[in-house]
Amino acid sequence: MRPADLRGFLAAKRKSGSGARSLGRHMAGLRSLLRYLEKKGLVNAAGSSAVRSPKQPKSLPKPLSGSQAITVVSAETQMHEEPWIAARDAAVLTLLYGCGLRISEALDLAPPAITSGTTTLRITGKGTKTRLVPVLPVVITAVETYKALCPYHLAADQPLFRGARGGKLQPAIIQREMQRLRSALGLPESATPHALRHSFATHLLSAGGDLRTIQELLGHASLSTTQVYTGVDSARLLEVYERAHPRA
């Protein structure tokens, strides 16, 4: 099959309304079929490698609203019956939303990292890139409440956040608790622990934060990674405009 044939097929599909994701699936299916037919000696599939799949659009992060995020991280909202575990979950989620941490970054913290006098956190993120993140008083309160209730000795060289049996808390536990919260609060499937980090960035941008600062707070190596949040904010502004403007 010639590359021109495949390009013609994609053009016809695009003209009929197929988007980039659909076209990508079509191309993947065709390549698989052509490879199978080539093995049978029925076609030459070399032409398929000369045609690039359509560039996929970047999906925008789906942040929670301000009120949703505050409800999710609230100690009163946590669903575990054991008080210290409920306090632990609230502290972890508050770190994700209050400091914009990745879940792995929050769970890697040691007890001395956050005390009553802490004002900044030194976080080592992807690629061992280190950044300083301001710590809000509400984050300190959440962590201190957890520390006071935790039944395990929190040694300085051990993890701050513990599982029910005393080992290091695993991300899957927080993800499962978030799933329970999502169901109880009627939140969408996109409301994950990582969505709290997206919410942190989006709400800062909405309140006038500049991209360079948000880039540093998130630990992004490239500003282009952070710029996706401008799309989120623009989408939100357009939604508000269309809902509120009398001529929209």
> Which stretches does DSSP call E strand in 68-127?
120-124
Q: Is 229 a catalytic residue?
A: yes
Instruction: List the catalytic residue out of 21, 35, 39, 126.
Output: 126
Count CA atoms within 13 Å of residue 3 on its CB side. 7
The mean pLDDT of 167-187, rounded to a whole number, is 95
pLDDT value, residue 244: 65
Q: Is 102 a catalytic residue?
A: yes
220 carries an active-site annotation: yes
pLDDT given at position 155: 96
Q: Of 31, 182, 194, 236, which residue is the catalytic one?
A: 194
CA dist 232 and 216 (Å) reads: 19
Q: Would you call 122 a catalytic residue per the annotation? A: no
Q: What pLDDT is attached to residue 3?
A: 72
97 in catalytic set = no
pLDDT in tens, 89-99: 999 999 999 99
Q: Which of 88, 147, 162, 220 is catalytic?
A: 220
pLDDT of residue 50: 66
Amino acid at 214: I
pLDDT of res. 226: 79
Tell me if 135 sits within 8 A of 120, measured CB to CB: yes
* Active-site choice (147, 197, 198, 203): 197
Q: How confident is the model at residue 143 (pLDDT cuts 50, 70, 90)?
A: very high
- Is a pLDDT exceeding 80 seen at residue 76? yes
Assess whether 80 carries a catalytic annotation. no
Neighbours of 221 (CB within 10 A): 12
Residue 134, H or E segment = strand 130-134
> What whole-number distance in Å separates Cα of residue 148 and Cα of residue 152?
10
Do 168 and 161 contact (CB within 8 A), yes or no?
yes
Domains assigned to the chain: 3-50 (no CATH), 66-238 (1.10.443.10)
Given this model, what pLDDT does residue 15 score? 78
Q: Is the overall model pTM greater than 0.85, yes or no?
A: no
User: For the chain, what is the mean pLDDT?
Assistant: 85
Q: What is the dihedral angle through the alpha carbons of 32, 35, 37, 43, rounded to the nearest 10 degrees?
A: 130
Q: Which position among 102, 162, 198, 203 bears the catalytic label?
A: 102
